[in-house]
Amino acid sequence: MASASQPALDTLRTITTPEGVELNLRLAGPMPRACAWAIDLVLRAAILVVLLIAVSTLGELGMGIFLICAFLLEWIYPAVCEVHLGGATPGKRALGLRVVNDDGTPVETAAAVIRNLLRAVDFLPLMYGVGLVSMLVNREFKRLGDLVAQTVVVYRDDARPAIAIPDAAPLTPELSLSVEEARAILDYAERVPDLTAERADELARIGEPLVAGAVPYAAGARDRLLGVANYLVGRTRR
């Protein structure tokens, strides 16, 4: 379920990697994307005004330089930002947005160029009319450029802190754990330092069926869960 802080009209997209890890992407709707575009528009306009003043004394040469820079700023600059600046133009970064591929990986040059060049079509007939209609009828809020480039605009979530669990000898579970079960074991291991010994043992007994076969029954449920948690985060035997 999406968190209460998730903006209205936005949806959660879950991607399962080949390793069985679930990635949650919060899709950005038309309103935050429009605000990001407006910020970028103002920034580009300010740059063009400064540039026009700087080349105004060069006559036709200055106008040629201005037109070339205006083209690059309008069509190439956004793609460069999305490829080399974490998937975000300054406007997107200000709104906490970024562009990624459909599978959640960073956007590459070809996709970034395609989605930005197709803004010419999305802009029709005026003020991104085609793009807005496309986003409203698409559950992932994709404009035509996103559909062709196979990209999506998502919120840039803060990086999850590294998992801090008590050090223990890693144990390989004999049972096949689902993603939810593995996540539950890791969540438990992270909470153990903040629990009393009695409470930690009580909670461990709830999850004991998941790791009952991991080691001989002489080891307590808490030790087995911590051992499996260390295995899940990739620690090796010492």
User: Among residues 168, 174, 172, 215, which one has the least CA distance to residue 192?
Assistant: 168
For the residues 51-71, what does the mean pLDDT come to? 93
For the residues 144-169, what does the mean pLDDT come to? 82
Q: Is 146 in contact with 115 (CB distance < 8 Å)?
A: yes
Residue 151 bridge partners (DSSP):
101
pLDDT recorded at residue 198 = 84
For the residues 13-28, what does the mean pLDDT come to? 73
More confident residue, 194 or 130: 130
pLDDT at 68 over 80: yes
Query: Strands (DSSP E) along 77-150, which ranges?
Result: 97-101
pLDDT recorded at residue 237 = 65
pLDDT band at 42 (very low <50, low <70, confident <90, very high): very high
DSSP 8-class letter at 86: T
Token pair recorded at residue 86: 């974490």
Q: How many helices (H) and strands (E) does the chain have?
A: 11, 4
